Amino acid sequence: MFWKKETDSLNRLRTACFKIFRKKEKSKAELFEIESEERRKWYRIRPSETEPVLLSFEDKALCIRDIGAAGFSFENDNFSIGPQKPSHLNLPESAPAIPVHIVIISIDNENICHCEFKTIEEGAVERIHQYVLRRQKEILQEQKIQAKRNRQAIVHTKSETDQ
């Protein structure tokens, strides 16, 4: 769940491979390149508003907008793209903060800093994976509850109009 399927890239790879193997002269196989607009290999999740993921960065406490195993984003507060900087990531659990070194790789038109982890312990990556999975389950549960409420509202509305 926490990784992204690269079906488009895989389909292009399969097509290119089939072209190579269909050639009559296998010794003259063509080289090919896969182009993808996808920048991320890992799925990112938006933290809960009631249990935010916090970042201690340059003596400021920031709320994370989205997070994945390779990085995260947050609203810019006069930061700039630049070199690695130490920070601490606080997941909404009782475990200690995660020490990381991050790099702001871009700041978009909406003034959002997009960051990647440069130094992070393997156990910390696993904690992020577990958080992402837990949060995905919460979101799916919320969507199921909302869908059930919507169905009940439709049935209730329909029964009122039928009377």
**What are the domain boundaries of the chain?**
1-38, 54-157
Structure tokens at 12: 């292009």
Averaged confidence pLDDT in the chain: 78
* Residues near 101 by beta carbon (within 8 Å), at least 6 away in sequence: 84, 85, 86, 87, 117, 118, 119, 120
Where is mean pLDDT largest: 30-34, 50-54, 90-94? 50-54
| pLDDT at residue 28 in the model | 39
Instruction: Provide the pLDDT for residue 41.
Output: 59
pLDDT score of 31: 40
- Residue 143's pLDDT band, with cuts at 50, 70 and 90, is very high
Query: Which pLDDT does position 25 carry in this prediction?
Result: 44
d(CA 161, CA 156): 9
Please check the confidence at residue 50 and state whether its pLDDT lies above 50. yes
On whether the CB atoms of residues 54 and 64 are closer than 8 A, the answer is yes
Which H/E stretch holds residue 66? strand 60-67
If phi over 0 gives left and psi between -120 and 50 gives alpha, with beta otherwise, what is residue 2? alpha
Return the number of other C-beta atoms located less than 10 Å from residue 100's C-beta. Answer: 24
Q: For residue 22, report the phi and psi dihedrals to the nearest 5 degrees.
A: -80, -15
Q: Confidence band (pLDDT; 50, 70, 90) for 159?
A: confident
pLDDT at 42: 62
Its CATH class, for the domain covering 54-157, is mainly beta
pLDDT at residue 72 tops 90: yes
Question: End-to-end CA distance of the chain, in Å?
Answer: 45
Interval 13-26 mean pLDDT: 42
pLDDT at 127 exceeding the cut of 70:
yes
The pLDDT of residue 38: 45
